[in-house]
Structure 1
Amino acid sequence: MANRVRRMIREEVGDGYFCILVDEAQDASKREQMAIILRFVNGQGILTGRYFDIKSVSDTTSSSLKDEIVNVLAQHELEVSKMRGQGYDGASNMQGAWNGLQALFLRDCPFAYYVHCFAHRLQLVLVYVAKEVDVIWEFFSHLDNIINIITSSPKRVTELQYAQRIEIEHMLAIGERESGSGANQVGNLQRLGATRWSSHYESIKSLIDMYNATCAVFENLSVHCPNGKSQGEVRGTYKQMKSFDFVFSLHLMHTIMRITYVLCQALQRKSQDILIAMRFISTTTKFLHKLRDDDWKEFLEEPDLESLYKVGPCRSRDPITMKHHYHFDVFNEAIDYVLMELNTRFNDTSVELLTLSAALDPRDSFASFSSHDICTLAEKFYPEDFPKEDIRTLEYELRHYELDMNTESRFQESTLVELCWQLTESKRSEIYVMVTRLIRLVLTLPISTATTERAFSAMKNVKTDLCNKMEDEFLADCMTLFIERELAQKIDIDSVIDEFYVSKPCRDQLQIK
């Protein structure tokens, strides 16, 4: 059945170009699994991403991974020479400039351009900011501690939900909340995820929504918690949670991450093109600049931090000095680090490939259109797909293309993904053959490895602990028969076992048998 699905995907790819997205993760049996995704534009001009295969790999060196991928592609007559993009995370075995997986493929196909997963870069921005800004590092440390103390005990979760109910009932009684279907739901604090930017935003948002209820639980715990280390930890954490530094950082990171959350969601869409991704990064940067330069007073007013500020840190300190500290040493510094890292890690606008690709963008009535840049893009980055005769044809096509595209508003209001489909649907792809070919090549460039993450999520639902146990027992029985047959030749059992890649429970069963 799996091979039948792969054959259908192979038919979808046809003679077109494709990109590979690859990532690794461990399954329930702690074996390393490599997911392979194909990204391509199908015959209808629709940008498509298909989960193609998942392979168990005992060795994650770049050469071993390449051999596995090439074997999978060869089995279905997918030529490496047709590859026009590679998408991985930032691991050294993947993105290494000399011996990484991307470098090995580039030796065989110099036009399979590598793009470091945008979603992974965004996560690295947060990691860097949390490490470099002391106040932010302390905030995330305290936030993690608060969430762990509450969520580690079912009794405390129940207390939190009870406190929420009381608060919601009170707010409804005084008219500060509106009732309605799905409104005023009780919930739980969200844990921080090590590899997901959005999980940090969800954790911060959940604590802001449940701040009063969480304080009520900690206040109760600080009184009734048994004496000793546990009581000291609860009281210390509660003190930090009530401090102005923590509340200030909580609302600051909520404001920053509310802006970047849109970018995070956009990068994980299945049919996203690289030009729109770069636009989202640009608009995110502009919003952050505005927050830093113009919105300090508005930031203080929104969660009523001004009143907390007056009764908090300034009671025993110079208010002018303290205001300067929170404005410039915390607020501005945190935003500056986020901006610096965004500009450093998303510097692809300086890469000529992406700069020239922007000339194909149909938005704003083809405002970025440039025949010279489009021809340079084809000639410099895709010489194998555009020989000199095709470049001349492209030049003449572009003259008609520019006039034609401006005659209909539907083309001017499209994204590059939509434009590709519209050209195919309107049969214009048969007229503008070279332009369509170039658009398909640009769309093939990957954005993120979110599709591989979805494959791993599905793998966890299929390869459960129970399935793994059944597999081990079945494999043990099969291998026992094999060993019994080989014992007649006096082969050492351990050496036979070592030839199989099996989990420890299976190995223990074999030793007993």
Structure 2
Amino acid sequence: MSCYLFGKHYGARNDGKNAFSELGFSNWKKVNNRVNCAFICHEGSIPNSPHNLCVKSCDDLMAQSKYIDKVLDRYSDETIANNRLKLNTSINAIRWLAFQTCAFRGDDESPESLNRRNFIELIKLLAFCNQNVNNIVLENAHGNAQYISSGVQKDILHIFVKKVRATIREEIGDSKFCIIIDEARDESKREQMYVILRFVDKHSCVQERFFDLIHVSYTCSLTLKTEISSVLSRHNLDVQNLRGQGYDGASNMRGEWNGLQALFLKDCPFACYIHCLAHRLQLALVSAAKEVCYVHQFFSKLTLIVNVVTVSPKRHDQLRVAQANNVANLIANDQIVIGSRLNQIGALQSAGDTR
């Protein structure tokens, strides 16, 4: 009976031993032939033989108490509510850290650590403020269902990403859009390409939305075009609705024949290329500054001053104290106005030819 029901799932009907499930058994001479007994050969000598697997499946079928609906019914409303509260606590912590662009994990998150890093410490803070949360999270959680592993964090972040992109896609609808592309190398020396979509929403307002960040091993125009087209097609954004391209002045981006803008123009002749205005302004200012002797000397000396000050913490602190005293004197003499976020002392940065 068991082989008849489940034999096709375990190959029992394809190994020449389907007499017990389909054809019917008639060779009774081999029944008492000890090792070569047909019944013994059919059962097999290993636990995972087709016959034994069929028997186990049949036993599982007969054990109705193990059905998934019966197992779920055993969970009380209180257990379900606690699991939801525990998951919502992790979701709220991840959402807050993501909005504040804070690191999630650290090198030591063990219960014995004095600082278990941002994510777990935030969970502990939420538990401290709510006794119901404290009863079900971290070490008080039932079994291993703590929802604090790196895999759970990544899954929740991926859900956030999908929802944000779905919202942006809904904003765009069937309207025309432009793409703004640039590449940069992150701290891990990986070349990253970011994709920004510019469009007019249903309220006739121009919107710019950061849409995706893609790791690219090669920055040739064909590779970039393939990656961008993949992102657009994955979110049902038709290239024929593309009306603008904004890149920097690199040859692989603005090349007239083989550049990225030329490749998109072949697919959509209305996708006009515009050299990034901020990048053009920066290049124009740098070029003009180099032509004026006094301005060129000013920035050259400024670079030397910045290097001298920033290389020494003592000099940096002395400069901050001097600047704070100068600001205080100007305020006392009513030479500058005061207000929220005014007259703040920022960090020194070296001048560069690009942004």
Greater fraction helix: 1
Q: With CA pairs under 8 Å and 6+ residues apart, which has the higher RCO, 1 or 2?
A: 1
- If the length of structure 2 is used for normalisation, what is the TM-score? 0.50
| Structure with max Cα Rg | 2
